[in-house]
Structure 1
Amino acid sequence: MRTVGVVLCEGIRPFDYGVITEVWGVPRPACPGFELWRCGEAPVALQHGVTIAPDRPLNALTECDLVVVPGRVDALAPVSDAVLEALRAAHEAGVPIASLCAGAFVLGAAGLLDGRRAVTHWALTDALAERYPAARVQPDVLFAEDGGIWTSAGTAAGIDLCLHLVRQACGAAVANSIARRMVTAAHREGGQAQFVEHPVPVAATAQSAVADTLEWARHHLAEPLSVADLARRSGTAPRTFARHFTQLTGTTPAHWLIRQRVAEAQRLLETTDLAVEQVAARTGFGTATMLRRHFARVVGVPPTSYRRTFAGSSPNP
């Protein structure tokens, strides 16, 4: 991934445009030389008096390695035929297309969500499903992919998707480096259901206990941790800990541990010459077979293939 095209259309959200620019438009010597193209028909006015002028026409989207559509302030506002046609042409040319938050409505208007899984901000999921009934709207996940079309949930989930796309193309170390510069999590667990207002919020003391336990667990991944171990560390009963954990993170302790171990395995595969068996031991999987099984399920490729692609890609923080 080298050239990323951001679609400029009326009413795009400054936050979404800022996220895209921060991930792909800020030069960082330690990271690959991304080139961000601002593709549009004419200058567009954002909120608060900001105007952005395109530096490429819309037909340049077909030459990009990735196209990103920011969300818009009014999700239901009409989209110009030129933008919709340019998005369809990019998709037909095989270019992956991603939308942030309400940008899913732009993809829907272009017909790119028909028959595909899609997600948007939890407050807009019903509207998306009603307006584009052929889309398979997912109400809970932070982002989804289907047939080269990526969509993300609201606001901060756009950061999650952008970093995930960098991780896929450039490896975990590059994505982690960008995340550190942005002072954000390189990967968040769970779905957006955890952010919907709940009638019975988790107590602050429970939040602190879970957060402290997660930080401790990240430094003890090589140990054979269980939910009971984590609960004991937090000073709560296993069922109580699991309930608070899921409320706060949107996922289970067991799933969280697997993802953390896979992330650490990615780091070791990129930055060390350790054998797969040694990586398995250091990440708590125990055996190379278990590492391969979980790694392939989460990342999509075996550890050896991942190493061949990304070894030596670790940038300085």
Structure 2
Amino acid sequence: MRSVAVLAVDDVIPFDLSVPLEIFGRSVRDDGSPCYDVQVCGERSAVSSKFFEISSLAEIEYLAEHADTVVVPGSMSYAAKPSPRLERALHRAHERGARMVSICLGAFTLAAVGLLDERRATTHWMVASELAADYPRVRVDPAVLFVDEESVLTSAGAAAGLDLCLHIVRRDFGSALAADMARLSVMPLTREGGQAQFISARPRSKATDRSINPTLEWAEATLSSKITVTDLAARAGVSKRTLIRRFTEQVRMSPSEWLQTIRVRKAQGLLETTDATIESIAEQAGFASIAALRQAFRRTVGVTPQAYRKTFV
């Protein structure tokens, strides 16, 4: 039987905490014997979240000295640095070969103690840029549902923790058992695409310099006219070269990349909220053709427009 330690800290996110308990705690072999021994561990005997208090926790030393897999759920206090005791426990577990796993915002804890340095990792798309900025040695991939770096694994937003835990069951005990657990959880064993498909379809574009914001707002309201980078420059009253420089500095992407992104987001919103045909959506979002929409959508979101609509409608 493999041992799993799930870390509980103050302000722990309930769903993040429950996911490994649900998947690992209910995984059984054909003879009914459990696959995992799951313990919830903490630095103290009890911790509190916004909704409840958890008591009778196992000692943090169990995590450090015995667990085969250590799961770090997210906490609403994710920016807080781990205590020296917790940092030592996580490093001790890693040094003796334990598999280190984070769910959602839990990646900040692993990053804070250096376990994600020089590794590819992910977290919830809303804070991926924050993780990258705070920990530049981490190779943050904001587009995927989870990252498997063999001994260190990270998941995106909370539901992606289910994907990662099922992946771990498949690694440990094979696809058949993982498929059984997926059915028990009423979800597919694997999901098409990454978390890019779950980013809000209606973001508000804002530049760091307010002078360019009117141009961005105009472009978002005028997509169906198939505006170009030249049109953006004319609207902003600057040369194309100056526009490209301002976009690079203030929007963190080129004007053409930005135009494609907002067109895809417009298409996402139409797919979610209307019964419009793909041809009509391509036209309303400013794409030159259905093929252009499909190509850009697949590259940005990771799935086809048809697959996206099936997911969200």
Look up the match of 1:145. 148
Larger radius of gyration: 2
Question: How far does residue 61 in structure 1 lie from its aligned partner after superposition?
Answer: 3.3
Look up the match of 1:250. 302
Would the aligned equivalents of 2:196 and 2:301 in 1 still touch at CA under 8 Å?
no
> Which residue identity is paired with 1:165?
I
RMSD between superposed Cα atoms in Å: 2.9
1:257-297 Cα shifts (integer Å, max 9, x gaps): xxxxxxxxxxxxxxxxxxxxxxxxxxxxxxxxxxxxxxxxx
Look up the match of 1:183. 186
Rounded to whole Å, the distance in 2 between the matches of 1:12 and 1:26 is: 21
Going from structure 1 to structure 2, the CA distance change for 1:70 and 1:207 (only over 3 Å counts) comes to farther
Out of 29, 33, 36, the position equivalent to 1:34 is: 36
> Which residue identity is paired with 2:129?
D
Alignment of 1:275-290 (within 5 A): none
Rounded to whole Å, the distance in 1 between the matches of 2:56 and 2:16 is: 16
Look up the match of 1:305. none
Look up the match of 1:10. 10
Q: What is the number of residues matched between the two proteins?
A: 227
1:68 aligned counterpart, secondary structure? strand
Rounded to whole Å, the distance in 2 between the matches of 1:249 and 1:170 is: 31
2:167 aligned counterpart, secondary structure? helix
Question: How far does residue 50 in structure 1 lie from its aligned partner after superposition?
Answer: 3.3
Using structure 2 for the length normalisation, give the TM-score: 0.65
Look up the match of 1:23. 23
Out of 166, 190, 197, the position equivalent to 2:169 is: 166
1:44 aligns with 2:47: yes
Question: How far does residue 55 in structure 1 lie from its aligned partner after superposition?
Answer: 2.4
Look up the match of 1:279. none
Going from structure 1 to structure 2, the CA distance change for 1:45 and 1:125 (only over 3 Å counts) comes to same
Would the aligned equivalents of 2:27 and 2:181 in 1 still touch at CA under 8 Å?
no
Look up the match of 2:271. 203
Would the aligned equivalents of 2:94 and 2:100 in 1 still touch at CA under 8 Å?
yes
1:94 aligned counterpart, secondary structure? coil
Rounded to whole Å, the distance in 1 between the matches of 2:22 and 2:84 is: 28
Using structure 1 for the length normalisation, give the TM-score: 0.64
Rounded to whole Å, the distance in 1 between the matches of 2:127 and 2:35 is: 35
Look up the match of 2:81. 78
1:143-193 Cα shifts (integer Å, max 9, x gaps): 112251111111111111111011111111111111111111211121111
Would the aligned equivalents of 1:6 and 1:37 in 2 still touch at CA under 8 Å?
yes
Would the aligned equivalents of 1:206 and 1:244 in 2 still touch at CA under 8 Å?
no
Question: How far does residue 251 in structure 1 lie from its aligned partner after superposition?
Answer: 3.7
Would the aligned equivalents of 1:202 and 1:248 in 2 still touch at CA under 8 Å?
no
Question: How far does residue 56 in structure 1 lie from its aligned partner after superposition?
Answer: 3.6
Would the aligned equivalents of 1:194 and 1:247 in 2 still touch at CA under 8 Å?
no
Question: How far does residue 51 in structure 1 lie from its aligned partner after superposition?
Answer: 2.0
Would the aligned equivalents of 1:143 and 1:161 in 2 still touch at CA under 8 Å?
yes
1:114 aligned counterpart, secondary structure? coil
Out of 63, 78, 87, the position equivalent to 2:90 is: 87
Question: How far does residue 33 in structure 1 lie from its aligned partner after superposition?
Answer: 2.9
Question: How far does residue 52 in structure 1 lie from its aligned partner after superposition?
Answer: 3.8
- Flag structure 2 segments of 5+ consecutive residues without an equivalent: 202-264, 279-288, 306-313
Rounded to whole Å, the distance in 1 between the matches of 2:275 and 2:166 is: 26
1:203 aligned counterpart, secondary structure? helix
Rounded to whole Å, the distance in 2 between the matches of 1:168 and 1:62 is: 23
